[in-house]
Structures are given as structure tokens and as C-alpha cells.
């Protein structure tokens, strides 16, 4: 526990960026896909098979990756053995490369009393360095996460799925007070929900400097809009959706350049972990990202 408490997510991410690392490897270890890839002759892989598969991914990709992001439901779907598996993989990752932080993609959200329990489980029991959260319960409810100043709190504002625009791109009125605080042009009375949420995080939530913004890579325009809001505050971006989901690296890198937003982590999962050569796949993505760098 003492070793875990000394880990600082933002410090580890900063060290990785200094080395030119920008790829987040998503550990979405689908038990059915792994059974197929490993030719084990069963509909789904057993936890020990998944552990071996995950171990190989960690060993093959850690020299290039900035961070790892296990997707919590893939483990929770296996019940108690899956939770134990996730704990073991997090511990193993820290043994293989202690400088690669772990973001558990749990997307949790509830009232404060319940979030205290989430924080204890995800940070203290699993050993996560960072987690993803939804923000709709408000700043007060998220306090149990935000007060963990050595941990990373990645707040989801715009997702990569096709139906995201229904609620996340919906226009909402901006009050006069908000417009002044957020430097919204005087002739603009409404902005999109994801922009409002981004303003809230960078202006109100990030008092401990441990917040980041989660934005899907599949819509470069939206990503660019949020990046322009977050950039002056140096709030990092976690960007899922590169690779299998179709996010175009040149397109979203161009938007990041327009915003001059330099603190980002590009997540790819299936196109790396289910590639016959995951090490080559992560290096290929890293090269594509580096080709779009402007700084």
C-alpha cells in the first residue's frame, strides 16, 4: 500500500511525455476474442489464459506505451475471478514497467457517499493510478475522486460512439455569469453540452490539477472545440477511438495543433492487442502520431 500511495499519476504521465510517448494501450481483454485468438477450443477464455494473453501485451508494448487502460466491464463480466485477474494484471504491469501508469476505465458516477466506495475500490483495492468518470452528478458528488490529488480523474465529455451527438452535442443555454467566466463571445447564447462540461471541468473541478478530459477521436471537430477550451488551462486529453473505431490520426492531430494542445494520450485497444504483433502495432501508431507533432 505504501508503494501505491507514493505513485503520482500526473508525475508519471509527465515523465512519459518527456520521452515522447503518446499512446495509451487499451486492455479490453474480451474473453471470447481471446479464446479465438489463442485457439483454445472453448467459447470463452479462462482467467489464466487471459492473464497470459495480457502479460504478453504488457511485455510487447510497455517500451512504447505512455499508459495502459484496462476496461473494467471486460473483467467484471467474469465475476470475482475477473476482478482478481484485473488486480493481478495491474500489479504485473507495475512490475514490468513501474513508470507506466494504469487508468481503469470504469466510467463511474453516483452521489458522493457511493463514490467514496468506488474510490476505495478502484484506487486502494485495485491499485489504479487513474480512473474515468461521468460528471452528471456534479462537482460535489465527485469530491471523493477529486480529492485524491495523486490520482488521475479522467472526465468523459464526448464519446466516440455513433449516437453520442444525441445528448452530448445538444445545444444548451449559457448564463451571463458563465459566459463571462468562460470567455464565451457575447453574441453566443448557447453552446453544446460537451463544451459546457469541458468548461466546468477546467474552470471548477481541476483545483488539484488532477483532471483530464476524455474525448472520442472519431469526430475531429468536436475534439478540436474541447481542446481549445482545455488548452489554456493545460488540462490533458485522453482520446479513445484511434484505430479500430476509425478515428483519423492526421485529422485529430491537426485539430490539436490548431488548439496548440500538447498534453494528450491517444488510446487504441483492439487494433493493438489483437494484432498478431502488438509491439509492431503500438510502434506504428506512435510513429503516426509523431509525424503529426508540431512542437
Give per-residue pLDDT as tens, 161-177: 889 999 999 999 999 99
Q: Is the pLDDT of residue 220 over 80?
A: yes
Q: Is 107 a catalytic residue?
A: yes
Q: How confident is the model at residue 1 (pLDDT cuts 50, 70, 90)?
A: very low
Q: Decide: helix, strand or coil at residue 86.
A: helix
Q: How confident is the model at residue 186 (pLDDT cuts 50, 70, 90)?
A: confident
Q: Could you count the other beta carbons within 10 Å of the beta carbon of residue 250?
A: 11
Q: How confident is the model at residue 243 (pLDDT cuts 50, 70, 90)?
A: confident
> pTM (2 decimals)?
0.95
Rg for the chain, CA atoms, rounded: 19
- Helices (H), ranges, the chain: 2-6, 9-18, 31-38, 47-61, 72-76, 80-96, 112-119, 139-146, 165-168, 176-182, 193-200, 220-230, 249-259, 270-273, 278-291
* Adjacent-strand bridge partners of 132: 154
* Adjacent-strand bridge partners of 295: none
- CA nearest neighbour of 197 among 218, 220, 225, 176: 225
Beta strand 67-70 pairing with 130-133: unpaired
Per CATH, the number for 2-291 is 3.20.20.70
Q: What is the pLDDT of residue 207?
A: 95
Q: Is the pLDDT of residue 160 over 80?
A: yes
Answer yes or no: are the C-beta atoms of 239 and 265 closer than 8 Å. Answer: yes
Q: What is the pLDDT of residue 244?
A: 79
Q: Is the pLDDT of residue 39 over 90?
A: yes
- Any idea where the domains of the chain sit in the sequence? 2-291
Q: Which of 1-5, 235-239, 271-275 has the lowest mean pLDDT?
A: 1-5
Percent pLDDT > 70 in the chain is 98
Q: How confident is the model at residue 4 (pLDDT cuts 50, 70, 90)?
A: very low
Angle between helical axes of 31-38 and 47-61 (0-180°, round to 10): 80
Q: How confident is the model at residue 262 (pLDDT cuts 50, 70, 90)?
A: very high
Q: What is the pLDDT of residue 245?
A: 83
The answer for residues whose C-beta is within 8 angstroms of residue 264's C-beta and 6 or more apart is 22, 236, 237, 238, 239, 256
Catalytic residue among 37, 107, 147, 280: 107
Percent pLDDT > 90 in the chain is 93
Amino acid at each position: 500500500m505504501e508503494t501505491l500511495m507514493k505513485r503520482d499519476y500526473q508525475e508519471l504521465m509527465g515523465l512519459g511525455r518527456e520521452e515522447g510517448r503518446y499512446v495509451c494501450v487499451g486492455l479490453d481483454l474480451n474473453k471470447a476474442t481471446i479464446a479465438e485468438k489463442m485457439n483454445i477450443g472453448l467459447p470463452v477464455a479462462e482467467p489464466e489464459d487471459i492473464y497470459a494473453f495480457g502479460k504478453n501485451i504488457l511485455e510487447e508494448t510497455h517500451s512504447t506505451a505512455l499508459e495502459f487502460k484496462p476496461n473494467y466491464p471486460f473483467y467484471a463480466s467474469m465475476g470475482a475471478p475477473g476482478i482478481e485477474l484485473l488486480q493481478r494484471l495491474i500489479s504485473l504491469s507495475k512490475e514490468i514497467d513501474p513508470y507506466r501508469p494504469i487508468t481503469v476505465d470504469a466510467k463511474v458516477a453516483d452521489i458522493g457517499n457511493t463514490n467514496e466506495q468506488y474510490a476505495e475500490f478502484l484506487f486502494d483495492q485495485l491499485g489504479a493510478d487513474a480512473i474515468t468518470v461521468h460528471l452528471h452528478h456534479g462537482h460535489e458528488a465527485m469530491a471523493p475522486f477529486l480529492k485524491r490529488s495523486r490520482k488521475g480523474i479522467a472526465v468523459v465529455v464526448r464519446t466516440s460512439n455513433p449516437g453520442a451527438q444525441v445528448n452530448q452535442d445538444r445545444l444548451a443555454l449559457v448564463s451571463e455569469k458563465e459566459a463571462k467566466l468562460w470567455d464565451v463571445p457575447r453574441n453566443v447564447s448557447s453552446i453544446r453540452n460537451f463544451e459546457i462540461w469541458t468548461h466546468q471541468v477546467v474552470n471548477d473541478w481541476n483545483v488539484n490539477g488532477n483532471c483530464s478530459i476524455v474525448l472520442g477521436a472519431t469526430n475531429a471537430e468536436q475534439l478540436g472545440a474541447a481542446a481549445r477550451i482545455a488548452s489554456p488551462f493545460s488540462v490533458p486529453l485522453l482520446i479513445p477511438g484511434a484505430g479500430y473505431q476509425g478515428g483519423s490520426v492526421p485529422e485529430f492531430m491537426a485539430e490539436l495543433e490548431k488548439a496548440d494542445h500538447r498534453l494528450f494520450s491517444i488510446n487504441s485497444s483492439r487494433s493493438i492487442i489483437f494484432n498478431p504483433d502488438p509491439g509492431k502495432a503500438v510502434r506504428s501508431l506512435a510513429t503516426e502520431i509523431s509525424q503529426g507533432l508540431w512542437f
